[in-house]
């Protein structure tokens, strides 16, 4: 806290609404740090570790952008936001981008005036049931009690699903995921429903995870991705193509381990890798960055697949399978436009 | 005189019988139990039922606590070590101890600074709380806010000095002019302090924090129980004087002042604290230009202080109303002017009556500081709900963490409550 800034703000606050902001890219470069909005804590997606370092799937996107723009994956000021404060923080300019498991919806994109730059995780609402219940499909859940977070889209999706399948259920409203977890374990409800990634993380924390199963039905589309403010297309391009660079790197087999050697000795037979890594063409210049931007992002965080495996993949306690989030070449939805 | 008397005289005890212990059933623990636990059949039944419930609770919790693990590195490891046995996983407390107390962003090597600030806080608070101590110690109390600010936030040494200088300048102007007119002295003091701060603030070089001897720590990096303590202490100590001013203002005969105070109190009391906090964290950002944001900690302090000041004002108004009218008239008849009458006659009595109410508000306020977790500040509860429960190692540890938080808050709140009871006994001048 700087008193001069503080008092200056108090004095001029009433007088001026502030000069028109320069472009976000210029601001970030001048500031030397990226202000990135993240969750206050969601297993695997973003949380500080025991040393206070932010880690997680969404956090890696922030770090990759910082590496691309500023050359330092640690030049990020993480601004923790709750579900209620996230959009105002972005709209007011407190943060430059938001990477916080936010579902891309029509109204958020159009009405709230944000630009979703892509999708880094395709999620969907699923069901968690105890194995002892002997249910293998959500359509067999007639008459079940269901723990459901109030005020979320999952509540509406659930009603739609049960109505369209003409079966009944009894909702048990809960406020937070933690509460839902406890209620479910205490037997207050037969079924717990929320996003499938959340269910997997929840189940991983159980004492006996194998006593519970995720049902195969996914009843909603929840594409989660980073977003920026409307109206600054240079900046949204930077964030969009940093995410695309991570995705393309996996598709082309560029990893954090081999990116340095691939860039040092460009192979003329792999032009797209060369364009991605800036050893050919001038894609970085078009973005307003230097030629090595994607190289740094990949070197610091790894490609999309590495980020997935490190934070939420099958080797981690959360143990999410790639599923929809496999590369399009493997039957998934993860697809980046070409670097050309 | 009579025969009987002569007969009895033949055997007279010359020494008294040795004192004997009261019968076994009429003394000691047995008597206590008969009086207090088994006085009537209904009492006995209640005692037995209570004992049964205490037994149930202890059999459920004691093995859990005593069997607790303190040295594992994750919940999964705890479960592995316990291997099905009942036991708590207190390891989360040992592993995340510093995070629980200081938040996850406060630099590790600087933990001594807030710790020292806490120790000094007890020194500074002592002369205020226990007025038998030498009054000279109050000088340190007056300096403490600036010392604590410097210790916790670090940065340029000039900042707390400018802040202190502004206060001194304001106080000086006030002293100089208050004899002539209270309003002139008061507003002159405020203006002098503001001018001093503004000029001083401009004199501090922009990069002063970078070159400072004490590493600067931004407010965003504060967290844990430290944040609760800081908010609680700051807001309580600011809201008591503000509350007194509001209470007096509400009783003022000047309509403008009276109505400003009434509207302020009624408005703030009519709005939930959480709404005010959202305004502080979210809405104010829209009103200020993006590059000069008022510190979030300061915004929250302002909002919580306003909130509790409105409540304290009403508590003190109750104390003022309880004084007999004769007290006011006595003050007038002594020829005291308004500030003197208030300071010497009215407020000492009114505040004494208000102590339980003020302490009640203070305890509530201290616990309300946990609400800042909803505006993504990482106080103790915010740390637990956010980062710690969201880490892959500790996802699923609820009882241990929340029990620890409850214990910390209980210790502090019980301490405040015990102090207030001592204070009431100490100040009891009425004859009951």
pLDDT tens-digit profile of A32-54? 999 999 988 888 888 888 888 89
Would the CB atoms of A41 and B387 count as touching at under 8 Å?
Answer: yes
pLDDT on residue A19: 38
The nearest alpha carbon in chain A to B395 belongs to: A205
Q: Which of A40, A55, A74 to probe by mutation at the B interface, max B CB count within 10 Å?
A: A40
Q: Which residues contact B379 (CB under 8 A, 6 or more apart)?
A: B223, B224, B225, B227, B228, B231, B369, B370, B372, B373
Pick the closest to residue A58 from A98, A95, A8 (CA basis).
A98
Average pLDDT over residues A161-170: 91
| pLDDT digit string, tens, across residues B363-376 | 999 999 999 888 87
A6 and A67 in contact (C-beta within 8 Å)?
A: no
User: Which single residue is written with the structure tokens 């807001």?
Assistant: B235
Q: Which domains does chain B have, with CATH numbers?
A: 22-66 (no CATH), 93-427 (1.10.3720.10)
Would the CB atoms of A4 and B201 count as touching at under 8 Å?
Answer: yes
- Which residue among B291, B294, B374 sits closest to A82, beta carbon to beta carbon? B374
B299 — contact with chain A (CB < 8 Å)? no
The token pair at B278 is 């959202």
Would the CB atoms of B385 and A41 count as touching at under 8 Å?
Answer: yes
Question: What is residue A79's three-state secondary structure?
Answer: strand
Would the CB atoms of A205 and B388 count as touching at under 8 Å?
Answer: no
Query: Furthest-apart CA pair in chain A: how many Å?
Result: 67
Chain B positions touching A2 (Cβ under 8 A) are: 155, 159, 204, 209
Average pLDDT over residues B325-346: 89
- What is the rounded (10 degree) CA torsion for B209, B214, B217, B223? -160
pLDDT-derived band at B208, boundaries 50, 70, 90: low
Q: Which of A41, A42, A53 to probe by mutation at the B interface, max B CB count within 10 Å?
A: A41
| pLDDT digit string, tens, across residues A258-278 | 999 999 988 889 899 999 999
Would the CB atoms of A18 and B374 count as touching at under 8 Å?
Answer: no
pLDDT on residue B84: 81
How far apart are alpha carbons A98 and A58 in whole angstroms? 9
Would the CB atoms of B288 and A13 count as touching at under 8 Å?
Answer: yes
Chain B positions touching A16 (Cβ under 8 A) are: 289
ipTM surpasses 0.85: no
| pLDDT digit string, tens, across residues B138-184 | 899 999 999 999 999 888 888 888 889 888 888 888 888 877 777 78
How far apart are alpha carbons A223 and B117 in whole angstroms? 47
- Which residue among B155, B285, B389 sits closest to A92, beta carbon to beta carbon? B285
A117 and A226 in contact (C-beta within 8 Å)?
A: yes
B96 — contact with chain A (CB < 8 Å)? yes
User: Which single residue is written with the structure tokens 């006595």?
Assistant: B330
Average pLDDT over residues B379-403: 86
How far apart are alpha carbons A154 and A157 in whole angstroms? 5
Calculate how close chain B gets to A42, using CA atoms only, in Å: 5
pLDDT-derived band at B315, boundaries 50, 70, 90: very high
Calculate how close chain A gets to B295, using CA atoms only, in Å: 6
Residues in chain B: 432
B99 — contact with chain A (CB < 8 Å)? yes
How far apart are alpha carbons B64 and B90 in whole angstroms? 10
pLDDT-derived band at B397, boundaries 50, 70, 90: confident
Q: Which domains does chain A have, with CATH numbers?
A: 21-122+224-330 (3.40.190.10), 125-220 (3.40.190.10)
Q: Residue A13 above 50 pLDDT?
A: no
Would the CB atoms of B99 and A16 count as touching at under 8 Å?
Answer: no
Calculate how close chain A gets to B408, using CA atoms only, in Å: 21
How far apart are alpha carbons B225 and B355 in whole angstroms? 26
Average pLDDT over residues B228-246: 93
Cross-strand pairs, A192: A128, A147
B102 — contact with chain A (CB < 8 Å)? no
Record the pTM. Answer: 0.80
| Eight-class DSSP state of B374 | G
Q: Residue A228 above 50 pLDDT?
A: yes
pLDDT on residue A8: 42
Chain A positions touching B393 (Cβ under 8 A) are: 50
Percent of chain B's residues with pLDDT above 90: 38
The nearest alpha carbon in chain A to B97 belongs to: A50
Q: Residue A306 above 90 pLDDT?
A: yes
Average pLDDT over residues B283-287: 71
| pLDDT digit string, tens, across residues B53-101 | 999 999 989 999 998 889 888 888 888 888 888 889 999 999 899 999 9
How far apart are alpha carbons A262 and A273 in whole angstroms? 8
How far apart are alpha carbons A68 and A300 in whole angstroms? 9
How far apart are alpha carbons B3 and B8 in whole angstroms? 9
How far apart are alpha carbons A236 and B95 in whole angstroms? 40
Calculate how close chain A gets to B391, using CA atoms only, in Å: 6
């Amino acid at each position: 806290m700087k008193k001069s800034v503080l008092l200056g703000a108090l004095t001029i606050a009433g007088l001026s609404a502030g000069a028109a902001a320069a472009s976000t890219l210029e601001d970030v470069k001048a500031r030397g740090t990226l202000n990135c909005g993240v969750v206050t804590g969601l297993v695997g997606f973003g949380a500080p570790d025991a040393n206070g370092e932010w880690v997680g799937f969404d956090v890696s996107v922030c770090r990759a952008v910082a590496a691309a723009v500023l050359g330092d994956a640690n030049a990020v000021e993480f601004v923790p936001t709750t579900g209620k404060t996230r959009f105002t923080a972005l709209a007011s300019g407190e943060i430059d981008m938001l990477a916080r498991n936010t579902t891309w919806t029509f109204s958020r994109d159009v009405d709230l005036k944000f630009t979703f730059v892509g999708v880094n995780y395709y999620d969907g609402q699923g069901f968690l049931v105890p194995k002892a219940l002997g249910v293998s499909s959500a359509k067999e859940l007639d008459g079940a009690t269901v723990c459901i977070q109030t005020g979320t889209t999952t509540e509406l999706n659930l009603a739609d699903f049960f109505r369209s399948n003409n079966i009944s259920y009894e909702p048990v409203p809960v406020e937070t995921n933690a509460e839902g977890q406890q209620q479910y374990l205490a037997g207050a409800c037969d079924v717990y429903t929320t996003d499938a990634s959340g269910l997997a993380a929840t189940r991983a924390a159980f004492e006996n995870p194998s006593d519970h199963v995720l049902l195969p039905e996914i009843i909603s589309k929840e594409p989660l991705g980073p977003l920026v403010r409307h109206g600054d297309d240079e900046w949204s391009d930077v964030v969009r193509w940093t995410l695309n660079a991570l995705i393309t790197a996996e598709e082309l087999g560029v990893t954090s381990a081999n990116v340095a050697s691939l860039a040092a000795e460009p192979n003329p037979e792999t032009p797209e890798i060369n364009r991605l890594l800036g050893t050919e063409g001038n894609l970085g210049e078009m973005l307003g960055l230097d030629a090595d931007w994607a190289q740094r992002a990949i070197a610091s965080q790894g490609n999309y697949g590495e980020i997935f495996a490190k934070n939420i993949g099958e080797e981690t306690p959360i143990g999410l399978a790639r599923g929809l989030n496999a590369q399009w070449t493997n039957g998934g939805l993860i697809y980046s436009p070409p670097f050309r | 005189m009579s025969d009987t008397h002569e007969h009895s005289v033949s055997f007279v005890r010359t020494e008294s019988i040795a004192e004997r212990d009261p019968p076994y059933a009429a003394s000691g623990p047995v008597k206590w139990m008969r009086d207090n636990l088994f006085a009537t059949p209904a009492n006995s039944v209640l005692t037995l039922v209570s004992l049964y419930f205490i037994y149930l609770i202890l059999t459920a919790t004691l093995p859990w606590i005593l069997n607790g693990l303190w040295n594992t590195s994750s919940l999964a490891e705890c479960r592995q070590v316990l291997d099905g046995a009942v036991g708590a996983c207190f390891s989360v407390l040992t592993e995340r101890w510093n995070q629980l107390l200081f938040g996850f962003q406060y630099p590790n090597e600087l933990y001594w600074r807030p710790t020292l600030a806490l120790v000094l806080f007890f020194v500074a608070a002592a002369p205020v709380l226990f007025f038998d101590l030498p009054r000279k110690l109050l000088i340190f109390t007056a300096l403490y806010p600036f010392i604590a600010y410097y210790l916790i936030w670090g940065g340029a040494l000039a900042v707390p000095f400018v802040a202190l200088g502004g206060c001194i300048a304001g106080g000086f102007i006030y002293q100089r002019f208050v004899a002539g007119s209270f309003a002139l002295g008061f507003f002159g003091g405020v203006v002098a302090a503001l001018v001093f701060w503004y000029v001083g603030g401009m004199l501090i070089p922009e990069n002063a924090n970078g070159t400072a001897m004490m590493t600067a720590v931004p407010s965003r990096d504060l967290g844990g129980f430290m944040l609760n303590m800081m908010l609680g202490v700051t807001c309580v100590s600011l809201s008591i004087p503000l509350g007194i001013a509001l209470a007096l203002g509400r009783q003022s005969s000047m309509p403008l002042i009276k109505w400003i105070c009434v509207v302020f109190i009624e408005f703030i009391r009519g709005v939930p604290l959480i709404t005010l906090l959202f305004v502080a964290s979210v809405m104010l950002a829209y009103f200020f230009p993006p590059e000069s944001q008022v510190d979030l900690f300061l915004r929250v302090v302002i909002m919580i202080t306003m909130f509790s000041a409105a409540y304290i004002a009403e508590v003190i108004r109750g104390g003022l109303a309880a004084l007999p009218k004769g007290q006011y008239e006595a003050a007038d008849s002594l020829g005291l002017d308004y500030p003197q009458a208030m300071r010497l006659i009215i407020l000492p009595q009114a505040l004494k009556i208000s102590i339980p109410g003020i302490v009640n508000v203070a305890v509530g306020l201290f616990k309300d500081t946990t609400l800042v977790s909803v505006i993504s500040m990482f106080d103790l509860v915010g740390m637990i709900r956010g980062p710690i429960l969201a880490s892959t190692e500790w996802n699923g540890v609820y009882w241990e963490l929340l029990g620890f938080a409850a214990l910390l808050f209980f210790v502090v709140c019980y301490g405040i409550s015990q102090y207030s009871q001592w204070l009431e006994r100490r100040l009891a001048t009425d004859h009951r």
